[in-house]
A and B are shown apart, each in its own frame.
Chain A
Amino acid sequence: MQIKTMAEYAANGENPEVLFWVGCAGSFDQRAQRITKAFAQILDKVAVKFAILGKEEMCTGDPARRSGNEFLFQMMAYNNIQTLNGYGVKKIVTACPHCFNVLKNEYPNLGGQYDVIHHTTFLQQLINEGRVRLKDGGSFKGKKITYHDSCYLGRGNNIYEAPREVLQALDVELVEMKRCRTNGLCCGAGGAQMFKEEEPGTTRINFERAEEALHTGANIIAANCPFCTTMLMDGVKNKEKEDDVKVMDIAEMVAASLAD
């Protein structure tokens, strides 16, 4: 399998169908790298012509902006938009809802207009178009699975159904948590909290959320965000349930269910 960068496409005078924006977590975090690889494998398998920016990609600036550091955000945005516009990028897919939100909603004001799509929506479309074909009786068939809405995909951008439709396509038994969709509880990572200790309280946000997810009796907690995935895994570990309950990104579930 060959993963080409935007620079390589440009050198051949070619354009990819879509740019895969990997994001910092997807690039560096060991757990999130598995999501990145799973998604890239799906794209490769169904022959979506995609590119990455490779070493030219930089942090979108999301955690800087949300912590209050607008200067740093604007610097990152400026550089990224220069790169993206330089390649004439039209369509971007990303597996991180924070990157998705910034690229889709916040870069246009700064001169970066792209057609941005989250990987769960992209997967749903590929399934609907018949490009992604799933195994009959895949490994998740009939399994009890609960789905965690990330804040920036759900409330932030009103995407609640696409990820659920992918799960339905996997034939799982979807059990909802009490706080789901618009009422979904945060995993605790947003707003640059991922990068600092929580303020003193009675418990941690990810513990609270993981407990709620475990309460459904699901074997798998499906997520759509690398930060949620890490946070929820921590929460499951805290309850010493990591042997029974897995936290998986939807892309990983699809990758494991592709028809040959």
Chain B
Amino acid sequence: MHLIQQIIFIICLGIAIYLFARKTGEIRRNIKLGRDEDLNDNPAQRWRNVLLLALGQKKMFKRPIPAILHFFVYAGFLLINIEVLEILIDGVFGTERVFQSTLGGFYNVVIGFFEILAVLTLVAVISFLVRRNVMKVRRLAMPELDGFPKRDANMILYIEIVLMTMLLIMNSAEGAIRVQEGTGNGFLISGLLTPLFSGVSIKTLLIVQRVCWWGHILGILAFLNYLPYSKHFHIILAFPNAYYLRLRPQGEMANMKEIQNEVLYMMHPELAPAATGEQPAHQRFGAKDVMDLSWKNLLDAYSCTECGRCTASCPANITGKKLSPRKIMMDTRDRLEEVGRNINANKSFVEDGKTLVHDYISVEELRACTTCQACVEACPVGIEPLSIINQLRRYLIMEESNAPQEWNMMSGNIENNMAPWKFSPDDRDKWAEELTAQS
């Protein structure tokens, strides 16, 4: 009996790991479709960001209530993993609570602590469900979440409830067995539930315990495989995303070296490299589709938690414009997943007549951005929606010459009058003359 369980367990574990590895491999490949960007400088600062932002959840604490609730779930997740490790070892080697013998009396304290976390997680998860579905907190109930994103968010919360409940019932059944056998007591929290099992035979209790054990671990393996399809992938990607955060000041826009050189060669033709037969292929200016973005933008897209903190602080969105930085991230991920499926089916990407600009993100959305960086500042996992917006705008202007008339006039003025308005460059220091005349 034990042996059969062991074998089934090992098979389930193997399948779960295989599927997970395959999907994450695809995601890795998709992210690498993006353009190169070197983000390896200053490792000390990068590790600090991992500690503060990912591990320490620094930015979450700008909004204390969701931060504390989220922290319960997060701490619960990290620490209960230790218990999962025990379950995995038990499952593979057919042992029963292997850590018990090494930890002795301390084991019950540890499990008690985990049980407290499990209860806190339950409290938090239920509060999250209420915030989403009953209170309808604005950023969590916007139309851009209709359909899968909304189901996804709720789904994860339900899975958490099931997992935590299984864990508690399992422990409680074990406690009940010990009480009946007179070999000990229940655990800290689940022990409170043991009276429920009074009068239940040890045989039945064993079955309950086993069912919950299996339910819990299979649930976890299913959860693991659901992650890469879900916004909940952030629990893994938040860490690399914090590490590879751009370290430059938020106000600084990425330089375009190729255009810098073009201008330089225009001014100094003698500096231009001799036109040999092989000219490097023209790289599109700005980004039209996901492959034109940097790999970091694509990692950003997979790391997005769809929390909407960016959108809630976006001045354009607050004043009713179509732009929503969260939607920019969701669109980028959706399009990238579509490109990924295209590659799965055709070995390499086959033109499908669609692009990130126009088909997913409209010109109207892009135009509304004031480059205020509120979205970047707000994001708890270090995502830069603005970086994608900037690159798409560059494509629109430089490749499609797609600009509102007023911007064409502005550019014309800058070119001809050295100022965005139609003033004579000779009047630039008129204020100084006036001031000198005054005093």
A residues sitting closer than 8 Å to B (CB atoms) are 1-3, 5, 22, 24, 26-29, 33, 36-37, 40-41, 52, 54-55, 57-59, 61, 63-72, 74-76, 78, 101, 105-106, 109-110, 151-152, 155-158, 179, 182-183, 185-186, 188-205, 207-209
Contacts and interface: CB of A to CB of B under 8 A. Distances in A.
Nearest to A153: B251
B428 interface: yes
A5 B426 CA distance: 14
Given A28-B421, A37-B435, A156 B250 contact: yes
Nearest to B417: A59
Interface residues of chain B: helix, strand, loop or mixed (majority): helix
Contact of A61 (B403, B414, B438): B414
Given A24-B421, A196-B406, A156 B321 contact: no
B259 interface: yes
Interface string B274-313: 0000000000011000000000000000000000000001
B42 interface: no
Nearest to A98: B251
Given A105-B251, A157-B249, A195 B429 contact: no
A106 B415 CA distance: 19
What is the size category of the interface that chain B forms with chain A? 35 or more
A109 B259 CA distance: 13
Contacts of B253: 65-66, 106
A183 B313 contact: yes
B251 A202 contact: no
B420 A156 contact: no
Contacts of B372: 151, 155, 186, 190-191
Interface stretch (B8-16, B108-116, B232-240, B389-397): B389-397
Nearest to B323: A199
Nearest first, the 3 A-B pairs at minimum CB distance are A156-B251, A202-B320, A201-B320
B414 A63 contact: yes
Contact of A155 (B369, B377, B406): B377
17 contacts: A3-B435, A27-B429, A55-B428, A65-B253, A69-B407, A70-B286, A70-B398, A72-B411, A76-B414, A78-B263, A105-B252, A151-B370, A155-B250, A185-B315, A197-B406, A203-B319, A205-B319
A69 B397 contact: yes
B248 interface: yes
Contacts of B414: 59, 61, 63-64, 72, 76
B272 to A, nearest CB: 15
Contacts of B394: 68, 70
B183 interface: no
B319 A208 contact: yes
Interface in B369-423: 369-374, 376-377, 390, 393-398, 403-404, 406-407, 409-411, 414-415, 418-421, 423
Contacts of B367: 196, 199
Contacts of A66: 253, 371, 390, 393
Given A68-B286, A101-B249, 20 more contacts: A1-B435, A22-B428, A22-B431, A24-B418, A27-B428, A57-B418, A61-B414, A68-B395, A71-B263, A72-B414, A105-B252, A151-B370, A151-B373, A155-B250, A155-B251, A185-B318, A186-B315, A186-B370, A202-B320, A205-B319
B321 to A, nearest CB: 4
Contacts of A185: 313, 315, 318, 374
B338 interface: no
Contacts of A63: 410, 414, 420
Contacts of A40: 432, 435
B428 A208 contact: no
A151 B407 contact: no
Contacts of B370: 151, 186, 188-191, 193, 205
A201 B436 contact: no
B423 A28 contact: yes
A70 B255 CA distance: 9
Contacts of A68: 286, 390, 393-398, 403
Nearest to B261: A74
Given A24-B421, A198-B368, A3 B374 contact: no
A166 to B, nearest CB: 21
Nearest to A197: B406
A117 to B, nearest CB: 14
Nearest to B439: A1
Contact of B251 (A101, A198, A209): A101
